[in-house]
Amino acid sequence: MCGIVGTSWSKKAREFIIGGLEKLEYRGYDSAGIYYLDKDNKSNLIRTIERVKKLKDITPHFDEGIAIGHTRWATHGGVSINNAHPQSSYDQKVFVVHNGIISNYKEIKASLIDSGVKFVSDTDTECISNLFSFCLYKKKMSEYDALKYLYDNLKGQMSALIYDNKKLFFIKKGSPLLIGKSDDEVFLASDSLPLISYANKVCYLEDKTYGIINKNKINVFKDNKKIKLKFVKLDDSNGNISLGNYDYYMLKEIDEEPDRLLDLSNKIEKEVPSELLDCLRNEKIMILGSGTSYHAGLYAKKWFKATNMIASEFVYDDKEYDNYTFVLLSQSGETFDLIKAIEKIRSGQNNKIISLINKENTTIERLSDFYLNLHAQPEIAVASTKVYLNEVVALYILYQILNNKEYKDSIKELVENLKKVSANKDYIYEYTKKISKVKNAYFVGRGFDYKLALEASLKLKEVSYIHSEATYAGELKHGPIALIDKNFLTIFMITDKKFNDIIDSNISEINARFGKIMILSTTGIESKYDGFIVDYHSDLSGLVLIMFAQYLSYYVALNRKLNIDKPKNLAKSVTVE
């Protein structure tokens, strides 16, 4: 969940580290820090329990140097200076930044304490710096032997950058780590965004590797053998993540949805191999995802006779799966629960994996049999918006191709209706002024619309911190209606005309208890309540209501003066269990 960067004697070390951490804040932003050795061989450790902007303000100017940086999503230990990274060793010789979890850190810590080593933080990361220094300076191991010992003894899912004696060391064990190179400079990062403008080629490190970087010389090892790195040209086509005239990425990304769907529609068919379609003809299909991606998979039940599971639940399911086609949905391609799910999938017989991801060269892509890019372009706001729509429409297109049906006209019609929602932004903003102080909300639907309610509810709670739940309309009187009062918001979502009359009865039940009511519908239902109603009938009409809910969530959070792009306690790329 954390973001790490490093560079070996770059001439723009400070610029790269700070800029790289800014681009990695989607991974976590509880605290941030930098360690660097400048060209005068002065050692500097700077940490803050604020965000990267504060780190930028308090880090002195320096150019050339060797440096590592970190932006944190707290797992072990609270948010404090002592727990912020980089973590130093007991003798202040070794400095470490780390992404992931060390599952056996308690045993390592206890052993080192028995040997007289003192710890000052509650992090698992401090085990790396202390163990490495102990091996080098107490046990007098060689650099390679100490690194190999570290690699062998750290259990869990992690990537780490380690500084010692004017060199960088690294470990990649499950979590992503990339090496970028220019003519004579070396850069490392959790993903490719920080490397753009600094490196011209990149190596996506193999898993279960470790290495030593001395100036611009890189030695990488796997299974106790030195391996050759495979560098490819760094694709910088998605490198422009400027806000432009927007205050927040979330609003920018919602506004982009019509264009991103047209991009997907124009590109995806050329990228679908016939073998992938053969896999989708399987009668045994399971769609896996987490959070918003799981909700996108639920939408696809309109077309595929598939089973849906939350990835983290699938991992611990006792059932054995053979001869299945698994469709994996992920914004980042690094979702830990999906990577663990792949291990379970591969333990079965004759299973195939199709991954739909919004990035290239990810762990999940490399572990899949087939991969399709979602073409939503980078999504920076932690709350996913445009990727959800592209996931749903990608699955719709695959179904249409599979059945030799046309789909572009349907997507153009969808885009036109999405633009109708965008045209109502001013109304949505004004309406949210009435509801921004509510503390609770229900999103309510019948049948398929409950699946829309799940995603709409998640968006509101993610960015506004309003407690929100999704519920079936028919279940209201079986418990949920007990909470309704004048301060409780209920939003009804309707895409099927057959539910118009019965939903009207549910609305009356809420009104009788003085609850606040909003109607989102594509059925042309007549209503005296606030909301958005359009007469649009399509398998994709639910996406129009989701877009409205996204705007609603954004403007509620704006009225509550919250940091919309970076909600508290969340990270965009969930790379730990």
Beta-sheet pairing, 285-289 with 232-233? unpaired
Point out the catalytic residue in the list 352, 451, 459, 572: 572
**Structure confidence at residue 28 as a pLDDT band (50, 70, 90):** confident
**Structure confidence at residue 107 as a pLDDT band (50, 70, 90):** very high
For the chain, what's the residue count?
A: 577
Location of structure tokens 């007289």: 116
- Among left, alpha and beta (phi > 0; psi -120 to 50; other), residue 404 is left
Domains recognised in the chain with CATH numbers? 3-233 (3.60.20.10), 241-405 (3.40.50.10490), 425-567 (3.40.50.10490)
Contacts of 423 (CB under 8 A, 6+ apart): none
**Structure confidence at residue 576 as a pLDDT band (50, 70, 90):** low
pLDDT tens digit sequence for 418-428: 999 999 999 99
The pTM (predicted TM-score) of the whole model is 0.91
In this prediction, residue 1 carries a pLDDT of 72
Nearest partner of 103 among 135, 70, 127, judged by Cα: 127
**Structure confidence at residue 264 as a pLDDT band (50, 70, 90):** very high
The phi and psi torsions of 301 (rounded to 5 degrees) equal -65, -10
Asked if residue 62 has pLDDT above 90, the reply is yes
pLDDT tens digit sequence for 164-202: 999 999 999 989 999 999 988 999 999 999 999 999 999
In this prediction, residue 571 carries a pLDDT of 80
Average pLDDT over residues 369-398: 97
In this prediction, residue 74 carries a pLDDT of 86
Asked if residue 490 has pLDDT above 80, the reply is yes
Known active-site residue 572: yes
Nearest partner of 99 among 79, 118, 85, 82, judged by Cα: 85
- Spatial distance between the Cα atoms of 206 and 377, rounded to a whole number of angstroms: 25
CA dihedral 503, 507, 509, 514 (to 10 degrees): 170
Asked if residue 91 has pLDDT above 90, the reply is yes
Beta bridge partners of 37: 43, 66
Point out the catalytic residue in the list 2, 127, 135, 203: 2
In this prediction, residue 39 carries a pLDDT of 87
CA dihedral 325, 331, 337, 343 (to 10 degrees): 40
Contacts of 498 (CB under 8 A, 6+ apart): none
In this prediction, residue 26 carries a pLDDT of 86
3-state secondary structure of 235: coil
Average pLDDT of every residue of the chain = 95
Asked if residue 379 has pLDDT above 80, the reply is yes
